[in-house]
Amino acid sequence: MSHPDPLTVTIADGIARVTFDRPEVMNAFDAAQRQRFKAALLALESDAAVRVIVLTGRGRAFCAGQDQNESAAMDAAGSAARIDDYMDLYDVFRGLTKPVIASLNGVAAGAGLQIALMSDLRIGCEHARLGMTELNVGSAAIVGSALLLPIIGEAAMKRLVLLAEILSADQALSMGLLHEVVPHAELETRVTVVAQKLAQWSPISVAITKSWWKTMSDEAFDKSAQAARHGHALNFASGAYTEGAQRFKARKLGS
Domains of the chain, first to last = 7-199 (3.90.226.10)
Pairing relationship of beta strands 107-109 and 61-63 according to DSSP bridges = parallel
SS3 per-residue string spanning 65-114? CECHHHHHCCCHHHHHHHHHHHHHHHHHHHCCCCCEEEEECCEEECHHHH
φ, ψ dihedrals at 57, nearest 5°? -130, 155
* Most confident range, picked from 67-71, 130-134, 235-239: 130-134
Average pLDDT on 52-75 reads 88
CA distances from 45 to 9, 13, 18, 196 (A): 13, 16, 13, 17
Cβ contacts of 50 within 8 Å, gap of 6 or more: 11, 14, 15, 16, 44, 98
φ, ψ dihedrals at 82, nearest 5°? -70, -40
- Report yes or no on whether pTM surpasses 0.75: yes
Average pLDDT on 171-179 reads 98
Give the per-residue pLDDT at 86: 93
Q: What is the pLDDT of residues 80-132, one digit of tens each?
A: 788 899 999 999 999 999 999 999 999 999 999 999 999 999 999 999 999 99
SS3 per-residue string spanning 123-177? EEECCCEEECCHHHHCCCCCHHHHHHHHHHCHHHHHHHHHHCCCEEHHHHHHHCC
pLDDT for 240 beyond 70: no
φ, ψ dihedrals at 69, nearest 5°? -65, -40
Q: What is the pLDDT of residues 14-49, one digit of tens each?
A: 999 999 999 999 999 999 999 999 999 999 999 999
pLDDT for 255 beyond 80: no
Percent of residues, the chain, with pLDDT higher than 90: 78
Average pLDDT on 61-90 reads 83
- Confidence band (pLDDT; 50, 70, 90) for 2? very low
Give the per-residue pLDDT at 248: 53
- Confidence band (pLDDT; 50, 70, 90) for 1? very low
CA distances from 162 to 132, 135, 189, 190, 247 (A): 9, 7, 36, 33, 19
